[in-house]
Amino acid sequence: MGEIELPSNVSVTSASAINEFIKNSPLQKIVNWGRKNSLWFMTHPMGCCGIEQICVGVAHYDTDRFGIIPRCSPRQADVMMISGYVSKKYLPALQRVWDQMLEPRWILMMGECAISGGPWWESYSTVTHLDEIFPVDIYIPGCPPRPEALLQGFIELQKKIVAEQDRTVIPNPADGGE
């Protein structure tokens, strides 16, 4: 935000004060209720787990009833699923996609490869310990996990959001972004 000249007799409530007020009031529960019921996820298949990820988005599992909708752009999404092994070459691109997402945002780790490296644990080009790089909320084990498991992961994430135990960083507008 740029500098705005204010007359000396006018005082404004700062955005951070409003933010703090909402956080400590019951209003935050309503905000969280809205957030947990609109978990739009980014269609970002990274490996064979991506097949299951695409399956979750189709009509058979009807994720709309939980407010879970696939989106095709990181700028419209709230949830990123890391759904495959991440090579050293791919990590910068993944970080860039993550940086493009608007806060609040969450990460689901999907499948053994994302969680630990899976069969590529010892590989020369795989990045392991991804949870030290990204704030991961939910781990969904499986190789690959079934779509039902993925839905279960989303529901667990909703429970975490309601309980305010999720790891998302709610931005303070007064900080001007990062």
Partner 1 sequence: MGDEKIDKTIMIELSNTFKDAVSDVDVPSPNRAVARIDPGKVKEIMQFLLDNGFDHLSCVSGVDYPPDKMDVVYHVTSYSAPLVITLKASLPRDDPNIDSLCGIYWNANWYERETYELYGIKFNDCPYMKVLLLIEEMEGEWPLRKDYAGYPDLT
Q: Which residues bind partner 1 (CB under 8 A)?
A: 88-89, 117, 121-126, 128
Shortest CB 123 distance to partner 1, Å: 7
Shortest CB 135 distance to partner 1, Å: 22
Alpha-carbon distance 62 to 159, whole Å? 19
Nearer to partner 1, 124 or 163 (CB): 124
Whether the ω angle into residue 135 lies within 30 degrees of 0, i.e. cis, is no
Nearer to partner 1, 65 or 89 (CB): 89
Side-chain-side CA neighbours of residue 84 (13 Å): 17
Shortest CB 86 distance to partner 1, Å: 12
User: Coil, strand, or helix at residue 26?
Assistant: coil
Nearer to partner 1, 33 or 121 (CB): 121
Nearer to partner 1, 86 or 101 (CB): 86
What are the distances in angstroms from CA 28 to CA 57, 104, 127, 141?
29, 13, 37, 31
Chain centroid to CA 44: how far?
12
Shortest CB 154 distance to partner 1, Å: 30
